[in-house]
Structures are given as C-alpha cells and as structure tokens.
Amino acid sequence: MILNYRRLFWLSVLVLVFTQPGCVSRRLMMQSDPPGALVLVDGEEVGFTPVSVDFTYYGKRQVTLIKDGYETLSLLQTVPPPWYQYPVVEFFSDNLLPTRVTDRQRFNYRLQPRVVSSSQDLLQRGEGLRNEAQIGR
C-alpha cells in the first residue's frame, strides 16, 4: 500500500513538471544620456529612453538613437545569451523549468552634442561642391 502511495506521489510530481512548463522572458532595457532619445531596434520604433522591449532571439540588433541637438547614434548591438540559453540547455530552461525566468539585457548609450557649423564653413563647403560639380568629378 505504501509503495502505491510513493508511485502516485512521484507520478504526480512528473505530471506537474511536464504540464507546467517554464518560460524564459527576454527583455531589452535601453537608457541614454541624455534621456528622451527615440530608439529604433532593427528599424522599428520602440519608444523613448528609458525604454524596454521584449525580444525572441539573441544575436545582433541594429540600434539607432535620435534626439534633437545630438548626433544620431547608429550601431550594431550584440545581445549575448545567458548560459541557460545555450543549445541543449535551452530546451530544458524553455520547456521544463517549473518557474518563469526573466533575462534582462541592459544597455546604456551616451549621445554626443551636435556640432553646429558656422555659416562661413557652410558657404565654403558649398563653393567646394559647386567647383567639383563644374569640373565633373
């Protein structure tokens, strides 16, 4: 009789483990200095910094930050996987963990102030371009 209760207990544990699959939630969290920059990830607007967005796959992302008065920052950002998202281990962490795991990837960006050219510099550049166009370069 005791043996049947033990079997029933372990069978219940197995059923719970396999019917309550775990889940890995992935989130990019981006901040900028100064805050309030428009963020585009892979060409799609995600909001203004500080901003966070869910993602599915690790790897490289094209990140662009735009803010008036600052140079536009565009870069290829690598989003590295944590150890539990490596092949084979990933199957167990995504499907068999009894709890939810959240992977938060944080990135901070510093925007550079835009350098405003003087009107004299702009006139000189325009003259240079006009001369090149007339010569046919």
Q: Give the span between the Cα atoms of 62 and 45, in whole angstroms.
A: 12
Q: Give the span between the Cα atoms of 13 and 23, in whole angstroms.
A: 18
Q: Give the span between the Cα atoms of 68 and 47, in whole angstroms.
A: 15
pLDDT at 82 over 80: no
Residue 110 is predicted with a pLDDT of: 96
The pLDDT tens digits of the residues spanning 9-46 come to 777 665 655 555 557 678 999 999 999 999 999 999 99
Return the SS3 of 19: helix
Higher-pLDDT residue of 87, 53 = 53
The pLDDT tens digits of the residues spanning 51-76 come to 999 988 889 999 999 999 999 999 99
Residue 118 is predicted with a pLDDT of: 78
pTM over 0.85: no
The helix (run of H) or strand (run of E) holding residue 64 is strand 59-66
Q: Give the span between the Cα atoms of 42 and 40, in whole angstroms.
A: 6
The pLDDT tens digits of the residues spanning 94-116 come to 666 666 677 888 999 999 998 87
- Residues found in the chain: 137
Higher-pLDDT residue of 118, 112 = 112
Q: How far is residue 76 CA from its own chain's centroid?
A: 10
Residue 25 is predicted with a pLDDT of: 79
Residue 1 is predicted with a pLDDT of: 53
Nearest CA to 26 out of 73, 71, 85, 76 is that of 85
Could you give all domains of the chain from N- to C-terminal order, each with its CATH number?
A: 22-114 (2.60.40)
